[in-house]
Amino acid sequence: MSTPMSTPMSTPMSTPMSKLQLDPATVAQARDLAARAGRPIVDLARSHTTVSVERAALRLAGLSGADPDGTPWVNRLADAVRADLPEALAGGLAVPVWDALVRGEAEDLTTLAQKAAAGSVRFRHPTGGDRARAITAARDQIERGLHAIERQRTERERLLQVHGGPPRTPWIYLIVATGDIYEDIPQAQQAAREGADVIAVIRSTGQSLLDFVPEGATREGFAGTYATAENFRLMRAALDETSAELGRYVRLTNYASGLCMPEIAVLAGQQRLDMMLNDSMYGILFRDINPVRTFVDQRFSRQVHARAGIIINTGEDNYLTTADAVDAAHTVTTSQLLNEYFAKEAGLEDWQLGLGHAFEIDPDLPDSFRLELAHALLARELFPDAPLKWMPPTRHMTGDVFRGHLLDGFFNLAGALTGQGILLVGMMTEAVVTPWLSDRDLALQNVRYVLDAAGALGEDFHPAPEGFIAERARTVLAESIDLLHRIAGDGLLDAIADGTFGLMRRPADGGRGLDGVTPRGDDYVNPAIDALERGPDGPMEAS
């Protein structure tokens, strides 16, 4: 039995006709090239596994908690299996784990992990009937975990029916991140009262490089708050209270990236998060995580998001913090097309694709606002049914708060004119201090004024067919197609190694987490992957 897969949002974001007069054949060519470039990466992801994918399957089955030192039991169990069976990762951890349970080594996963950590369990590669029984037991328990995630999706849909959603688009997206979840909660609730539709709890700096997910509620973080199951639960419960108070469902987002992307995706589904930062290349480029591991983890995590009804936010805006926003505009479009291909291949629908881009052109450049409009409108028209995530200026914020507030106003206006779906609130104190509550109040006033005054102006905005904006958009698309031709020929891994995106050079045989990725063996079994590949209504596979 599966939950309804209806869309938990209405999206009046689509563009009924092209304002840029994009050639449909050219757009189709761009998508075809993105598929050609992305298909070998999907094949790679389908033929490899990682320690985080295997741990995510154990988390789906209900394993949680940590030892007295804070090491998660899921890590302890995975490490114990690999210590006994050095090639276990290639075959998947599920069979030896559930073989031990079926043999009576422990009554549940937590007890098994505790005994394994103490060295009182030995794991094996079962054969014949023992192997079949282990696979059946693993499948049943993991399927129950997926059904629990589907029930959370149904609960979100119920609450949207009860409370309703934002009264208009774009949704206003605001970040809180004190490092202390108990400080984040009142700030998030107040932000929602002031008009925020989406609360993002930005993750503690460096968590993406941890090969484990911290456990419990945390009160210390660095430029952010740790992503943990308990922090997710606490913030979701608080925003549910505020949703009932406001009569408007407030969405919650966090980060499914880094070395534990699949596990965090599972935790997000279990705790009913609504959005997750999930980009196919961010961890590679900006955290130097091994490219193969990232692509394997990314596919699994997006399959979980698809089942959970979670909207992803991609990270193309980050490219423009290291590369010039005009010269590199086509790399953003290229990445958006690749992210779309990877997302849809993993089962995500258009309404779940919060593809990223940003307002990062140097404001001292002549026609900077016209250039921003061209790039934003190009994204809107290439992905008419996606709730695009539009990011505010950061790179050229100088500390002049008055200039910054004006830039944020221009950013908000560009979002309104081009029909963006998710508008991240810009702060005038960006690059000065971590924003105070008063800074957020002013930023939200800025957004509300622009949306109230010009929110529907997009219907009147039609750039001249042969004018500056339309020509610039077509130029960027043409440059993106040229780049996709090269990537489709040379391979995406080589393009990443050459510094094509964000000027970062990341070879496929380097980066963090390389030792946690391996090709799947002929005997590989992971019931979580099998279930996600089938979809919610797919037939059961024979063991």
Distance CA 461, CA 474 (A): 18
Give residue 8's pLDDT: 45
Distance CA 445, CA 439 (A): 10
Is 325:376 a contact under the CB 8 Å cutoff?
no
Q: Which residue has the tokens 């979670």?
A: 310
Distance CA 507, CA 522 (A): 27
Give residue 537's pLDDT: 61
Q: Catalytic: which of 282, 319, 341, 524? A: 282
Q: Which two tokens stand for residue 276?
A: 């997750």
Q: Any catalytic annotation for residue 389? A: yes
Instruction: State the CB neighbour count (10 A cutoff) for residue 58.
Output: 30
Query: Minimal CA–CA distance to 174: which of 365, 456, 8, 392?
Result: 392
Q: Any catalytic annotation for residue 140? A: no
Distance CA 328, CA 319 (A): 8
Contacts of 140 (CB under 8 A, 6+ apart): none
Residue 244: HSE in the Cβ half-sphere, 13 Å Cα cutoff: 6
Q: Which two tokens stand for residue 319?
A: 């490219």
Instruction: State the CB neighbour count (10 A cutoff) for residue 326.
Output: 17
Distance CA 395, CA 91 (A): 46
Is 305:152 a contact under the CB 8 Å cutoff?
no
311, β-bridge pairs: 275
Instruction: Please tell me the pTM assigned to this model.
Output: 0.93
Distance from first CA to last CA of the chain, Å, rounded?
20
Q: Catalytic: which of 279, 389, 439, 530? A: 389
Taking each helix axis as running N to C, give the angle between helix 329-345 and helix 468-490, from 0 to 180 degrees, rounded to the nearest 10: 60
Describe the chain by its helix, strand, coil percentages, rounded to 5: 55, 10, 40
518, β-bridge pairs: 49
Q: Which two tokens stand for residue 334?
A: 């290229």
Give residue 318's pLDDT: 79
Q: Are strands 251-255 and 198-201 parallel, antiparallel or unpaired?
A: parallel
Q: Any catalytic annotation for residue 460? A: no
Is 380:170 a contact under the CB 8 Å cutoff?
no
Domains, the chain, ranges and CATH? 16-47+257-391+462-515 (3.20.20.440), 48-142 (no CATH), 168-255 (no CATH)
Q: Catalytic: which of 274, 279, 317, 530? A: 317
Please give the C-alpha separations between residue 300 and each of 33, 158, 303, 346, in angstroms, as whole numbers.
23, 27, 5, 8
Q: What is the pLDDT along the chain (543 residues), one digit of tens a residue?
A: 333 333 444 444 444 457 999 999 999 999 999 999 999 999 999 999 999 999 999 999 999 999 999 999 999 999 999 999 999 999 999 999 999 999 999 999 999 999 999 999 999 999 999 999 999 999 999 999 999 999 999 999 999 999 999 988 899 999 998 999 999 999 999 999 999 999 999 999 889 999 999 999 999 998 899 999 999 999 999 999 999 999 999 999 999 989 999 999 999 999 999 999 998 888 898 889 999 999 999 999 999 999 999 999 998 887 777 788 999 999 999 999 999 999 999 999 999 999 999 999 999 999 999 999 999 999 999 999 999 999 999 999 998 999 999 999 999 999 999 999 999 999 998 777 777 778 888 999 999 999 999 999 999 999 999 999 999 999 999 999 999 999 999 999 999 999 888 778 999 999 999 999 999 999 999 999 999 998 776 433 332
Distance CA 475, CA 494 (A): 25
The CA-based diameter of the chain, rounded to the nearest angstrom, is 74
Please give the C-alpha separations between residue 477 and each of 95, 156, 328, 340, 468, in angstroms, as whole numbers.
48, 37, 12, 15, 14
Q: Is 255 helix (H, G, I), strand (E, B) or coil?
A: strand
